[in-house]
Chain A
C-alpha cells in the first residue's frame, strides 16, 4: 500500500533562510507524489507534483522538491523563507486501484520567524 511519512511535525526557520521539509514514501510501484499547503483556516492548495517525469520538480512560490528513488524521499525545499510561507504542508501520495485516492502525511507546520 502507498503511504508517506513526514519526518518533522514542526519546523521553525528565520525569514530569508532555507526551508527543508522532509518526506519519505512507501510504494509498491512508481509513485505519484504531491506537496499541498494549507494556510490557517483555508483549504489546501497544490504546491507541486511528481509524476515520473523530471526528478526535480518546481512548484509555486519558489518551492521545489526532488524525487530520490534510492532514498524513497521527496523533500520540499525553498532557498529563502518568507513570512507568508508560514502554514502547514502535506506530503501526499496517489493510491487506490485507479490512482484516484490521495493519501496524506501527518503534516508539517512551518513557522517563519522575523
Chain B
C-alpha cells in the first residue's frame, strides 16, 4: 500500500486566496483525521471522519476552514480566505477502526500564506 497520500506537499499563497489541501487515506481505513502542526500550538486535531461522515470538528479554528470527504478515498481541507496565521504543516491520517487502532500519517502539506 502506498500509505496516506497528501497533495500538494508545499503550497505558497497570498493572503485572501483560497487554499485546498487533499488527502487519500489508506484503502480500507474507516477513519480519517486532519491535523495542524505549528511551532506555537504543536499538533492539533482539526476534524475527523468516520465512514465519510464528520464526527468531531471541534478543533476547526473558525468558519474559514471547512473539510469534506465525498467518498472513502478522498478528503479535502479548504481555507477560504487564507491568512498568514494559517501557515503551518497540515497532516492527514487514517486508521482502520477506532479505539486502539494505529493512525497512519501522511507526509504533510507545508502551507505558507504571505
Contacts and interface: CB of A to CB of B under 8 A. Distances in A.
- With a 10 A CB-CB cut-off, give which of A45, A51, A100 has the most chain B CB atoms: A100
Interface SS of chain B: strand
Given A46-B102, A51-B100, A96-B56, A102 B42 contact: no
A106 B42 contact: yes
Contact of A42 (B44, B103, B107): B107
Contact of A100 (B31, B42, B102, B106): B31
A100 B47 CA distance: 11
Contacts of B31: 100
B45 A101 contact: yes
A49 B42 contact: no
28 contacts: A32-B100, A42-B107, A43-B107, A43-B108, A44-B93, A45-B105, A46-B102, A46-B103, A46-B104, A49-B100, A51-B100, A94-B100, A98-B98, A99-B98, A99-B100, A100-B31, A100-B48, A100-B55, A100-B98, A101-B45, A101-B48, A102-B45, A102-B103, A104-B42, A104-B43, A104-B44, A105-B42, A107-B42
Given A43-B91, A99-B99, A102-B103, 19 more contacts: A43-B105, A43-B106, A43-B107, A43-B108, A44-B91, A44-B105, A46-B102, A46-B103, A49-B100, A49-B102, A94-B99, A98-B99, A100-B48, A100-B50, A100-B56, A102-B45, A104-B42, A104-B44, A105-B42
